[in-house]
Structure 1
Amino acid sequence: MKGVTDSTTSADVVLPCLDEAAALPWVLGRIPAGWRAVVVDNGSADGSADLARSLGATVVHEPRRGFGAACHAGLLACEADLVCFCDCDASLDPALLPALVAPVRDGTADLVLGRRRPEGRGAWPLHARLGNLALSRMLRRRTRLDLRDLGPMRAARREALLALELTDRRNGYPLEMVVRAADAGWRVTETDVPYRPRTGTSKVTGTWRGTWHAVRDMSAVLRAPAAGAEATAR
């Protein structure tokens, strides 16, 4: 795993993975040099785990299916102070992660999200975009944060994320992270990132049914009462 040069900082990158062998070489080749890729295999049947390991990634096995389960297993396996999350399907470029980390590292933000800007035909199917639009509106009403996307590319500090005590292990995990961060008074910002057509077939938003399940899981997070614990990011 050669990686892309970045001498300013280092971080661990959590990459939830379910049958992403076709995308892994490109994704892991774009991890900044000196950073650690933590590939969380969520039950792949295409050899993703062995391939990721051969390419230099740290591989964590999470038998419990679910996007949140994979993300949280990766977070627990991280060792760096700074942690990033990124999809493992080549739709997002890990080489852009240093720009997301910079505000967290410099102390000007506590959680930075990548706002997806689609590039190329099929990068963001209509049903997935409509689901994201509806959830973003509900999120703004719930948190008063000026966010336009629930982007899976994000950066924060590990100990602060653990203090949020996230419990969702399905598709609501990314949204729960933002909601609990807002309740705890975190400074949450977003920055534009290119969103490319993914490699392979989407397991979540590739169909109307998958999108509906994701919206259902996330809507349940938005209906939950505010967390009583005050997790601080600083």
Structure 2
Amino acid sequence: MNPAETIELTILMPCLNEARTVSRCIAQAQGYLDRSGVSGEVLVADNGSTDGSRDLATRAGARVVEVPERGYGAAITAGIAAARGRFVIMGDADESYDFSHLDDFVGSLRQGVDLVMGNRFRGGIAPGAMPFLHKYLGNPVLSFVGRLFFRVPIGDFHCGLRGFSREAIKGLGLITPGMEFASEMIAKAALAGLRIGEVPTTLRPDGRGRPSHLRTWRDGWRHLRFLLLYCPRWLFLYPGLALFLGGLAGTFVLQRGPFNIASFGFDIHSMLFMAGAVILGAQLVSLALLTTWTAVLSGIVPEPPWLRRSKGLVSLEFGIIASLTIITLGFVWSLALFFQWRGTGYGVLIPGQLMREAIPAVALMIVGAQGAATSFFAAALKACWESLGGALRRG
């Protein structure tokens, strides 16, 4: 019989020079398996330890898999691939997490939750267990951003103790090798529509007796960068729409003449900036659409409902027609200005009058050209992806 069919749970510990703590963590995990009656194993994914951690883990009764690629994410990915359990509960081998109390994780997994996160803020953080900046700034801010971006009810995005269905997580195609792996797992699980839950857990001061592998600002930025890249709505779409609509409203108002608010006056100079906001906003919206389109083609995210509903409009031909219409409007407007100038005998132009008409005309032509370029690029992406898929199928 395949061992994977007889084991319910793998308790996975990434390890890098944890000689002082790894044996005690393994003993806790084995004690939990013995007490609960859960059929399982303890697996240590060693990430290049040089302090004897591998030998200590083996003597303590764990199965050890060596991971040559450095990085937290690389160790966890290799551990998941080597796990034999139907479920996996992962946690650091530094005694910061208690492997002897995993009942809530296992219970949630048995109820069909695909990813169960621990919440240290609900379960309790012992004094000295989490640096001040992490506790009051980094974790709360990044967890809020994660909830906002991915609409998941997770209060502690970066808890290292978490459980999951091995097959469900393997299907996400997790790739990041570093600390941002923790965010990638939740983001992709949310985008894939997996069922995500949360249980309280505790955090204790680690027993490693050396500085943490975590680097506050570097790893915090890597987490935030990952969240932004996987949520083009907040990175591109919402800022783009705000710029586009705000600039459009400002351009419309100032095209009719100067506008005053209290002692502040707005005229053609402000109108130029409003038109710039329209152009930049249109570009950001285009990037949001292209990012989403790329993610859908590559299978990273499922096809969003709005894209399914607008299949008839999402085509190169429609994009070209719409873009040419906008370009033509701007060109005709500019041509009308030329004929007005010719009607005056090509005399001296009055900038205040000319620019009030020329700025929106030029903005229309630029936005139309952007739309055409976006349509062609989206079509090229689709063609390339279809060609790649055909080549892979033939291979």
Could you tell me the TM-score, scaled by structure 2's length? 0.53
1:203 aligns with one of 202, 212, 224: 212
Point out which structure has higher relative CO (alpha carbons under 8 A, 6+ apart). Answer: 1
Aligned residue for 1:19, secondary structure, equals coil
2:142 aligns with one of 135, 142, 154: 135
Which deviates the most, 50-59 or 91-100? Answer: 91-100
In structure 2, C-alpha distance between the alignment counterparts of 1:128 and 1:65, rounded to whole Å: 24
Per the TM alignment, residue 126 of structure 1 is displaced from its structure 2 partner at its CA by 0.7
Amino acid aligned to 1:20: E
Amino acid aligned to 1:181: A
Ranges in structure 1 where 5+ consecutive residues have no aligned partner: 1-8
2:23 aligns with one of 20, 25, 49: 25
In structure 2, C-alpha distance between the alignment counterparts of 1:152 and 1:202, rounded to whole Å: 17
Structure 1 outlier segments of 4+, above 4 Å: none
Ranges in structure 2 where 5+ consecutive residues have no aligned partner: 1-6, 232-294, 303-395
Residue pair 1:110, 1:156 contacting (<8 A) in 2 also: yes
1:186 aligns with 2:194: yes
Per the TM alignment, residue 225 of structure 1 is displaced from its structure 2 partner at its CA by 3.4
Residue pair 1:164, 1:231 contacting (<8 A) in 2 also: no
Structure (1/2) with the larger helix percentage: 2
1:120 aligns with one of 113, 122, 126: 126
1:49 aligns with 2:57: no
Pair member with larger Rg: 2
Per the TM alignment, residue 37 of structure 1 is displaced from its structure 2 partner at its CA by 1.0
Which deviates the most, 127-136 or 51-60? Answer: 127-136
In structure 1, C-alpha distance between the alignment counterparts of 2:171 and 2:301, rounded to whole Å: 5
In structure 1, C-alpha distance between the alignment counterparts of 2:109 and 2:52, rounded to whole Å: 35
Q: Which residue of 1 aligns with 2:10?
A: 12
Amino acid aligned to 1:196: R
In structure 1, C-alpha distance between the alignment counterparts of 2:138 and 2:195, rounded to whole Å: 25
Cα deviation code 1:43-88 (max 9, x no counterpart): 1111000100011101111121111001101001001111111111
Amino acid aligned to 2:202: P
Q: Which residue of 2 aligns with 1:3?
A: none
Per the TM alignment, residue 219 of structure 1 is displaced from its structure 2 partner at its CA by 1.5
Amino acid aligned to 2:104: A
Aligned residue for 2:102, secondary structure, equals helix
In structure 1, C-alpha distance between the alignment counterparts of 2:103 and 2:300, rounded to whole Å: 28
Q: Which residue of 2 aligns with 1:215?
A: 220
Per the TM alignment, residue 231 of structure 1 is displaced from its structure 2 partner at its CA by 8.1
Residue pair 2:48, 2:67 contacting (<8 A) in 1 also: yes
Residue pair 1:39, 1:52 contacting (<8 A) in 2 also: yes
Could you tell me the TM-score, scaled by structure 1's length? 0.87
In structure 1, C-alpha distance between the alignment counterparts of 2:199 and 2:124, rounded to whole Å: 14
Q: How many residues align?
A: 219
